[in-house]
Amino acid sequence: MRPLISTTDLAAALAGPAGDRPVVLDVRWRLAGPPGADSYREGHVPGAVFTDLDRVLAAEPGEGGRHPLPDPADLQRDLRAAGVRAGTPVVAYDDKDGSVAARAWWLLRWAGHQEVAVLDGGYAAWTAEGRPVSTEQPSPEPGDLTVHPGAMPVLDADEAAALARDGLLLDARAAQRYTGETEPVDPRPGHIPGAVNAPFAGHNREDGHWRTPEQLAARFEELGLRPGEPVGAYCGSGVTAGSVVLALELAGHPGAGLYAGSWSHWSRDPGRPAATGTLPG
């Protein structure tokens, strides 16, 4: 299954036989609110199950950062409650640029579930096209997915630091946070020395849809990625970095590593250096 699915293809899949329909996860979330659950109750893709980033797609904040990876047993329980079954496609969507949905995509892939995609254009595209929405909260039949963690590469802090020196480590945050001009959330400003800024907003066109594989490939080439070079990504808390991994896969560079703790983990340790300014450092 390709990492992206169009609204047309999702609508067709949902109109198909009940046993062939994908599980749809509504993962709307905003750092400053309002809560995604409120938006879900106001309307969602018919049959979609609300899946909370903070409770399902991440563990409690702590030493591992603001959005550490969930415990595999907890993730398995929650995904089964959402109806996720082995071999059944899953589609995730948010209402912005797909970066939160990409967290669900990456996490399911990490858990060993290959049949997963992000809705291209998200809920905004779905409603702009006049497609049906629902306020009914479904009660899905429990799934049987078994989580096998580790199917996607995860970087720790030392591995991220090494990749910034010996490969290409991409920082998915906005430029102002990368340079250290501002840091509204985490303990210290700046970036991992050697990391290259690659804001996740650059994956999308103005209409909110993802750029073509060719456009994404050109972008990563401009950022310095060479064929066969090891590459990884991080962001503030490990969420939007998943969209970098997805974009790299679309561009023909699968298997990128993700520093799950990201800057929220790195900046907690005063012994780890922080670079500032526009250069990698």
Strands 168-171 and 116-119, by their bridges, are unpaired
Q: How far apart are CA 149 and CA 33, in angstroms?
A: 30
Q: Which of 91, 104, 164, 235 is catalytic?
A: 235
Annotated catalytic residue 177:
no
**206 HSE (CA, 13 A, CB side):** 0
Q: Give the residue from 162, 172, 182 showing the smallest Cα distance to 230.
A: 162
Q: How far is CA 249 from CA 30, 134, 216, 260, 271, in A?
A: 25, 32, 10, 18, 33
Helix (H, G, I), strand (E, B) or coil at 202: helix
Q: How many CB atoms lie within 10 A of CB 279?
A: 11
198 CB-side CA count, 13 A: 30
Q: What is the SS3 assignment for 75-125?
A: HHHHHHHCCCCCCCCEEEECCCCCHHHHHHHHHHHHCCCCCEEEECCHHHH
Is 169 in contact with 245 (CB distance < 8 Å)? no
**Could you tell me if 155 and 258 are in contact, meaning their C-beta atoms sit under 8 angstroms apart?**
yes
Active site residues: 235
